[in-house]
Amino acid sequence: MPTISHPKHIGSYPQWSVITTVAITLFMIGLFSLFALYASTLNKILKESIAIQVFVQNNLAVEDSLAVQQAILYSKFTAQQNGKPQYSYTSKEEAAKRMIAETGEDFVTFLGENPLQSSYTIQLKEEFQTKTQLELVKADLEKIQGVAEVVYTELFIDEIKQNINRLALIVGVAVWIALLTVVIIINNAIRLALYSQRFIIRSMQLVGATAFFIKRPFLWRATQQGLIGGLLASLLLLGVLLFTHTNIPELDILKNWLQVVFVFLSLLIGGFVICTASAYIAITRYLRMSLDDLY
Burial class (CB in 10 A: 0-12, 13-18, 19+), 226: buried
> What is the amino acid identity at position 192?
L
Are the C-beta atoms of 65 and 119 separated by less than 8 Å?
Answer: no
Are the C-beta atoms of 235 and 13 separated by less than 8 Å?
Answer: no
Reduce the DSSP state of residue 67 to 3 states and report it: helix
Calpha distance 194→286 (Å, rounded): 9
CA distances from 91 to 117, 165, 289 (A): 7, 36, 80
Report the Cα–Cα distance between both ends of the chain, in Å, rounded: 25
Calpha distance 30→37 (Å, rounded): 10
Q: What is the pLDDT of residues 75-101, one digit of tens each?
A: 888 888 888 888 889 988 888 888 888
Report residues of the chain scoring pLDDT below 50: 1-9, 11
Q: What is the pLDDT of residues 168-178, one digit of tens each?
A: 778 778 778 87
Q: Where in the chain is the domain with CATH 3.30.70.3040?
A: 51-154
Q: Which CATH number fits domain 51-154: 1.10.3720.10, 2.40.30.10, 3.40.50.10320, 3.30.70.3040?
A: 3.30.70.3040
Reduce the DSSP state of residue 129 to 3 states and report it: coil
**pTM exceeding the 0.85 threshold for the entire prediction:** no
Are the C-beta atoms of 203 and 291 separated by less than 8 Å?
Answer: no
